Amino acid sequence: MSTGYPTKTEWLGPPRQGPARRIVSLVPSLTEAVFYLHAQDRLVARTEWCVRPRGEVEAWEAVGGTKNPDMARIAELQPDVILANREENLKKHIERLAETTPVWLTDPVGPEDVPALWEELGVITGETDAANRLARETADELENTKSAAASGPRPSFVYFVWKDPWMVAGHATYISNLLVAAGWANALAPEHTRFPKLDADEVLAIPDVDAYIYSSEPYNFELPRDLLLPDSAASSKVADDWYAVPSGRLAVFVDAEPLSWYPSLTVEGLKNAARLRERLLELQRG
């Protein structure tokens, strides 16, 4: 089965020899995806940040963090495949691991890349039937989400991922492209790609913003304490996790996992992004 979507992955290191029997995952969402494929018996280690599926993954050994893996312990485990990601993991670690072990380096830039990523992970684990089913589900959800968002307003957003300094999700990020697929528009200027650092004045000067979206990771924002506001300005709670801020804009706190964990939570993320848009439009209509 092929969805026709492109894949944003590459192999580093020695050639891979058939389906993996010993997998080390250095990416939380890929660890969860291995469980979704019922291939966790081939998983020998994960990172400390691999926390899903909760209540199950804790039984697997943790080999450091995504940015500081225990390289010596990984070598001792003798994996035949390492799952990595260009954003999550450091280049120096990936290159060193690839000296002895095949490394699958992922870098999807939007939900359009996810069906093919599922398919490739199915080949890696030998669980092609389950992977192809999940690829179809993702492709179908993406098509349905885009169709539903094709008409109607496209509210603009600024999505915060860090504070001190302020960092936001730019155009060439999975987070932004998932929101765009669900009918949103990134308010940043086109030159802002990846995760630019902006000072407070730069963020507040961005025109025509409908919503400031504050995420739960990697920085766990707490509203209203962490709202970015002009000096002496105030906010007021309007509904659920939504706040009214100056200039008629709204701010909301969101669970970042569905909006950023791929491929495991892509379907859930698309649904959440669509519901978030509908809620904003409802609040704007009063």
Cis peptide before 218 (omega within 30 of 0): yes
Query: Is residue 174 located within the same domain as residue 236?
Result: yes
* 276 and 253 fall within a common domain: yes
SS3 content of the chain, % helix, strand, coil (to 5): 35, 20, 45
> Who contacts 182 (Cβ-Cβ below 8 Å, separation ≥6)?
145, 149, 270, 273, 274, 276, 277
Residue 61 in tokens: 């050994």
CB 84 within 8 A of CB 94: yes
pLDDT value at residue 3: 32
Cβ proximity of 261 and 138 under 8 Å = no
* 50, 114: one domain: yes
Average pLDDT rounded to a whole number, residues 47-60? 97
Q: Which of 103, 124, 144 is the last residue of a domain?
A: 144
Residue 232 lies in a domain: yes
Nearest to 272 by CA among 188, 118, 159: 159
End-of-domain residue from the set 116, 144, 172: 144
Quote the pLDDT of residue 151: 87
Residue 151, both tokens: 């008409």
The answer to whether residue 232 scores a pLDDT higher than 80 is: no
Q: Quickly state the pLDDT bin for 6 (edges 50, 70, 90).
A: very low
CATH assignment of the domain containing 64: 3.40.50.1980
pLDDT digits (tens, 9 = 90+) for 10-31: 999 999 989 999 999 999 999 9
Tokens at 143, concatenated: 């098509």
Structural domain harbouring 231: 153-285
* pTM given for the model: 0.92
Instruction: Report how many domains make up the chain.
Output: 2
Give the whole-number percent of the chain exceeding pLDDT 90.
90
Residue with tokens 């155009």: 171
CA atoms within 13 A on the CB side of 211: 28
